[in-house]
Amino acid sequence: MASQTGTKKRKKKKKNSKAGLVLLITLSAVLLIAIITLVIIYFKGKAKYEGKFGMNTYINNIEVSGKSLDEVKQLFLKQTGSDKLVITRRDGTEVTIPYSDFDFKLDADEQLDQLYKKQDSGSWYAGLLGKISYTVTEGYTFNKDKLRQAIMDADWGSVKNKNAEIVKTDSGYVINEAVQGDELDKAILASYVISGFDNGKTSFSAADSDCYLKPQIQAEDLKSELEELNKVYKLSITYDFDFATETLDGQKLLDMITVNDDKSIKADPDKCMKYVEELAAKYDTYQKSRKFHTTKRGDITVPQGDDGKYGWWIWQEKTCDQLVEMLEKGETVKSVKPIYYEQYGFTYAGLPEDRTADSDIGSTYVEIDISAQHLWVYIKGKMEYECDIISGLDSVPSRRTLPGVYKLWYKARDFRLKDSSPDGSTWDVTVSYWNNISLIGVGIHDATWQPGFGGTRYKTNGSHGCINAPLAAAKYIYENVPLDAPVVIYN
């Protein structure tokens, strides 16, 4: 029994030795694998961090683990906000200046270089033990002269400033506002940007620097002048043509004048003359034929005639001078008559009440029918007097009474008629009533030497061109027909 027990003990001991060996081999294998794994991890980590900052590394609380030196520098550069400086122009567009153009450089670069040199990829695993922190001094340098020059060379736009100005319109003078252009003081802008960049600012508005040059003349500067000019715009001059008026004002008036710096007015004589010529073309009746309603023969057309000088005739030169003077006084004229032409002290105009838009003969006039050798006097539209007459000797052209529209230029009592005619005849008589109807000596007068009037006596015993009338007729015209009244003579 004893031997069997011993045998059993030996067998059990052998069994335990074998198990221990297996365990030892297993542990050794595990250890070997672990060692190999660690070696692999180590070398992978070493390869990963070769030329880079180590694991769990921070600089100024910025993680730089696994980053190259350039990457870290770019990371720090981004912390400045940009890699270029931006300036916004007046119109909203941007001017960009790369940092490289003015030698921008971070102060931390050299410190980062030193920290990088300290990196050992073989010790990469040190980061496993905890955070590895470094501190560098942040800052930067740049070339101010290069930045200033870059600003000077940049394109800031080409819109020119425009001063406020006063302009004429159809409704008066107005101010065109000043236009702010792109003109600027680059030195002011450069100083503003450099100062701001020095303090960490990377984007700017050019307008904030107050560098833009303002137009020299603003709307506010012109308000008082505008008021004065609009007083000029309100000027008007009204011409009175008896039956109608013409008012010169507004743009037409403004076109004729220039307002000087001292607010005085200078009128343009040529433009004034053109306006007067327009008035003359519209309102002159001198030297024009006229439609006339006769007493016995109905409607006819009466030529102006060579001897008849009736009608309104604007004296353009003097009226122009008058207009220039009125304009340069700068005062409104509510009513003024144009100046009518004068000759020998007589004015070429008729009775004011005679003028209408269609006629200038009116309702008070003397009518003479040469063929009928008859005369009628109309006063305010009513025929008040009529008689036979004797006109110029029809057989002698120089003594004929020519048809036309004459006017009563002047009157005289006991007037001496003394003259001669081209046919050689002479005369020297005194008449009681002289009613001059032309500027060449033709008149209506009494002719007491005539034994009778009317009929065909004018063909053989005609006058030297005057209208011979009975004494009563000459007196009636003298006393009742006003000066300037028309005398219509027709065949």
**What is the count of structural domains for the chain?**
3
Q: How confident is the model over 421-466, as pLDDT tens digits?
A: 888 889 999 999 999 999 889 999 999 999 999 999 999 999 999 9
pLDDT, position 79: 62
* Over residues 39-44, mean pLDDT: 78
At 168, list the tokens. 């004429």
Confidence of residue 5 (pLDDT cuts 50, 70, 90): low
Check: CB of residue 119 under 8 Å from CB of residue 53.
yes
Q: Is 348 within a domain?
A: no
Same domain, 370 and 433: yes
1 has a pLDDT exceeding 50: no
Whole-structure pTM value: 0.62
Q: Render the burial of 292-316: b for 16+ CB within 10 Å, e for the rest.
A: beeeeeeeeebebbebbbbbbbbbb
pLDDT computed for residue 474 by the predictor: 98
Residues 377 and 327 in one domain: no
Give a yes or no: residue 433 inside a domain: yes
Both 377 and 447 in a single domain? Answer: yes
The pLDDT of residue 33 is 85
pLDDT > 60? residue 39: yes
Would you say residue 81 has pLDDT above 80? no
Of 220, 234, 110, give the one whose Cα is nearest residue 171. 234
CB of 340 closer than 8 Å to CB of 313: yes
Q: How far apart are CA 347 and CA 440, in angstroms?
A: 15
pLDDT in tens, 284-298: 999 999 999 999 999
Mean pLDDT of 41-52: 81
Half-sphere exposure of 333 (CA within 13 A, CB side): 22
Reported confidence tier of residue 6, pLDDT bands at 50, 70, 90:
low
Dist. CA 471–CA 430, nearest whole Å: 13
Concatenated DSSP letters of 194-214 = HHHHHTT--EEEGGGGT-BPP
Q: Which CATH number characterizes residue 327's domain?
A: 3.10.20.800
For the CA atoms of 282, 287, 289, 292, the dihedral, rounded to the nearest 10 degrees, stands at: 90
Instruction: Give the span between the Cα atoms of 179 and 164, in whole angstroms.
Output: 7
Residue 20 belongs to a domain: yes
Indicate if 377 and 418 belong to the same structural domain. yes
- The pLDDT score that the predictor gives to residue 248 is 96
Whole-number Å distance between alpha carbons of 326 and 265: 10
Cα separation of 273 and 269, whole Å? Answer: 6
CB 399 within 8 A of CB 462: yes
Both 336 and 444 in a single domain? Answer: no
The reply to whether 77 falls in a domain is: no
Q: Are the C-beta atoms of residues 232 and 254 closer than 8 Å to each other? A: yes
Between the CA of residue 32 and those of 43, 45, 61, what are the distances in Å?
16, 19, 39
Confidence band of 251 (pLDDT split at 50, 70, 90): confident
Report residue 3's pLDDT band, with 50, 70 and 90 as the boundaries: low
Query: For residue 248, is it within any domain?
Result: yes
Read off the pLDDT of residues 110-121 as tens digits, 9 standing for 90 and up.
777 788 888 887
The single residue listed with the structure tokens 């000087």 is 260
Q: Using the Cα atoms of residue 49, residue 54, residue 56 and residue 62 in order, give the sign of their dihedral.
A: negative
| Dist. CA 80–CA 148, nearest whole Å | 20
pLDDT at 233: 85
Question: Is a pLDDT exceeding 50 seen at residue 413?
Answer: yes
Span 350-358, mean pLDDT? 93
Say yes or no: 335 and 435 in one domain: no
Range in 81-90, 203-212, 402-411 the model is least confident about: 81-90
Q: Is 165 left (phi over 0), alpha (psi -120 to 50) or beta?
A: beta
453 C-beta neighbours (distance < 10 Å), count: 19
**Is 330 within a domain?**
yes
Distance of alpha carbon 48 from alpha carbon 169, whole angstroms: 81
CA dihedral 82, 84, 93, 186 (to 10 degrees): 130
End-to-end CA separation in angstroms for the chain: 196
Assess whether 485 and 376 both reside in one domain: yes
Pick from 285, 292, 471: nearest CA to 369: 292
Tokens of residue 490, six digits:
């027709």
127 pLDDT above the threshold of 90: no
Model pLDDT, residue 212:
96
**Rounded CA separation 434/145 (Å):** 105
Q: Is 98 left (phi over 0), alpha (psi -120 to 50) or beta?
A: beta
Look at residue 401 and tell me if it is in a domain.
Answer: yes
pLDDT value at position 17? 76
> Domain span at residue 28?
1-47
Domain boundary (340, 356, 382) is at 340
In a domain, 159, yes or no: no
Q: Is 298 left (phi over 0), alpha (psi -120 to 50) or beta?
A: left
| Structure confidence at residue 78 (pLDDT) | 67
- What does the buried/exposed string (b/e) look like for 413-449 if buried means 16 or more CB atoms within 10 Å of the residue's CB? eebeeeeeeeeeeeeeeebebbbbbbbeebbbbbbee
What DSSP designation does 100 have? G
Task: Note every long-range contact of 176-180, with CB atoms under 8 Å and residues 24 or more positions apart, other chains counting.
Answer: 177/219, 178/214, 178/215, 178/217, 178/218, 178/219, 179/215, 180/90, 180/212, 180/214, 180/215
CATH number of the domain that residue 441 is part of = 2.40.440.10
475 or 229, which is more confident?
475
Q: What pLDDT score does 334 carry?
A: 96
| Residue with more model confidence, 181 or 2 | 181
Q: Which of 176, 180, 185 is nearest to 159 (CA)?
A: 180
pLDDT attached to residue 120: 80
Co-location of 378 and 486 in the same domain: yes
Per cent of the chain over pLDDT 90 is 64
The pLDDT of residue 9? 56
pLDDT above 60 (res 237): yes
Secondary structure percentages of the chain, helix, strand, coil, to 5: 35, 25, 35
Residues 6+ apart with CB under 8 A from 217: 163, 164, 165, 178
Do 369 and 467 reside in the same domain of the chain?
yes
